[in-house]
Structure 1
């Protein structure tokens, strides 16, 4: 079995840099003084990035408030303690007691992790929550991360996404060929199957990559977070639907040894604070995205729908991508089977409730 470092974990240089940033003496264990505990939270986001960055801050503040200051959490933006894509390893290796990130960043290490953020043509935000909380998803998630010494929680949600910002219009599948796009998760592989070049770029570097021409297009989150990054100033064509990312669950990673060292009431506070942020983040995303999309109507941004043949090609590609993801990986196959069972069961209700209602409300 490969070690964490062999699977793309933190380099010795990164760990040393993290130690310098956090204080070398404090890395061995959470700081404890007169019954007070201090944790570090490594994140994949810029400080207070609308959406996930704000969720990370609120989560830390809520833990501190609910605990009466007995447990405080210091939030580190991407790059301050560790780089954006090394948060998982930071928590696993004890550089941080906690992380705030998105599970699909770890698909190279743990293929099944992608299901706990989003997959193309997958569960909607309410359906995803139902699967995790009532359909066996949480138990599978726990099992997936336990070998790394991590307990995962839902802790935020950016809701439905948009399809992406493009510098040029998209009228047919041919218009995608050769286009480079910033994308993450399995959606990136779907874009590759459509003839695009997909690049993984940390959130804090997306705007510069788009502005400088490193990429021709970007898919990130919804309009609330996307506009905060300034993407509307560079790429005027904003497409929907987000077939590649229909959900946006943010995950809190908590070191199992650090969690078990807490008093029982503090462990309950950590879990409760994560659940509260999962609900608060989704509500905020829906509200703020509604306001943001309305504001775009009065700008030079051109809102348009992906052509039907693009969506159909993407759906076929997504089926192949998922089949390849779980091939030869029994754990990933178990997670996918649970996820697909949830999509089938929940889809039958969604198709008779929210879908027809929205059609009726707008017709």
Structure 2
């Protein structure tokens, strides 16, 4: 083969993905109706979901179109699961731990107390059998779910009083979903799971006295500092916060390989972008909360952490007792957590602790 033919062949190979995209017109394009649990244009969670919805038509070369509806625009935030399972919309963007009332196993595909960080969860989902278990539980509800975002480790939350001992949690009215909420309930808190759009008004009115949300970047725009002074940083409830692109399974299976590949690629892209964005901005917005709004940053002491740990052990046992599938998911998750986290503690965490000590970062 002469040099010109070789270079031409290489160029065609490199452009293979683009060449594989079908030629479409407006009439033949498939429309994906996406419903979300997040408010429109909300920095972080909302803008991430909108980025994903906007990206799919571009990558598909017009073969797939999207209609995006933020929380409350088509259905309520917590109605998106049933909307998609019924086939009325094709996909939702949400945190799957919202559905623990349907089955507690859903919690492991967002985050659980003392669980996996975002890199650890990614490893489990992609290379440790997590996606297969996600497919198993989702399939029981007529869904197919894949990762499409992550928050990274979340803050412990906003409180209108200091938490100096486990006794301070007795009777506390707190917005906190998932198994983290179950842990807080065991410690005497009165917990509720509210969609993001309803938290501020409930905090201001006193209907709730504390809330968790995400981290400084996302929380800043919620203006929780207007109703709660104390911001606890590290929390036990969501060390990772993986988000889901949940699709109607029958619809997913009707797609071509190309269409499925586009959706997976776009979800993977946003799944990487969202925690990177949060990591880049959390420090900046934490400082703004402190300097601009007088927020007082706190950390839970070891007595409180220990109480969280004992309660979490009870919650996991109760979750296992729910069903064979719940036990299978929990046991696989916990086993992989020990394996992944053990190595990370020996390498990355040891390094970061020593780096932070030497550089005076903490």
- CA separation in 2, counterparts of 1:177 and 1:148? 36
Quick check: 1:65 aligned with 2:50? no
Unaligned 5+ runs, structure 2: 1-24, 358-362
Deviation string 1:85-107 (CA, Å, 9 cap, x unpaired) is 11111111011101000110111
Q: 1:109 aligns with which of 102, 109, 112?
A: 102
Quick check: 1:359 aligned with 2:353? yes
- CA separation in 2, counterparts of 1:33 and 1:262? 17
Q: 1:292 aligns with which of 269, 278, 285?
A: 285
Residue 33 of structure 1: CA displacement? 5.5
- CA separation in 2, counterparts of 1:216 and 1:264? 49
Residue 290 of structure 1: CA displacement? 2.3
- Count of residues in correspondence between the two structures: 332
Q: 2:175 aligns with which of 167, 179, 182?
A: 182
Aligned residue for 1:263?
256
Runs of 4+ in 1 over 4 A off after TM superposition: none
1:339-358 → structure 2 map (5 Å cutoff): 339-358=333-352
Q: 2:201 aligns with which of 183, 203, 208?
A: 208
Aligned residue for 2:84?
91
Give TM-score scaled by structure 1 length.
Answer: 0.89
Q: 1:303 aligns with which of 294, 297, 308?
A: 297
Q: Does the residue aligned with 1:148 lie in a helix, a strand or coil? A: coil
Aligned residue for 1:130?
123
Q: Is contact 2:220–2:289 with CA below 8 Å preserved after alignment?
A: no
Q: Does the residue aligned with 1:354 lie in a helix, a strand or coil? A: helix
Aligned residue for 1:36?
29
Aligned residue for 1:148?
141
Quick check: 1:159 aligned with 2:152? yes
- CA separation in 1, counterparts of 2:227 and 2:352? 32
Q: Does the residue aligned with 2:35 lie in a helix, a strand or coil? A: strand
Quick check: 1:315 aligned with 2:315? no
Residue 297 of structure 1: CA displacement? 3.4
Q: Is contact 1:52–1:250 with CA below 8 Å preserved after alignment?
A: no
Residue 110 of structure 1: CA displacement? 1.8
- CA separation in 2, counterparts of 1:292 and 1:328? 40
Aligned residue for 1:226?
219
RMSD (Å) for aligned C-alpha atoms: 1.3
- CA separation in 1, counterparts of 2:340 and 2:257? 34
Q: Does the residue aligned with 2:140 lie in a helix, a strand or coil? A: helix
Aligned residue for 2:329?
335
Deviation string 1:180-229 (CA, Å, 9 cap, x unpaired) is 10001001011111111111111110000001111000111111111111
- CA separation in 2, counterparts of 1:328 and 1:94? 28
Q: Is contact 1:157–1:285 with CA below 8 Å preserved after alignment?
A: no
Q: Does the residue aligned with 1:165 lie in a helix, a strand or coil? A: strand
- CA separation in 2, counterparts of 1:257 and 1:35? 19
Give TM-score scaled by structure 2 length.
Answer: 0.89
- CA separation in 2, counterparts of 1:187 and 1:328? 17
Residue 350 of structure 1: CA displacement? 1.6
Aligned residue for 2:5?
none
Distance 1:144 1:34, change over 3 A: same
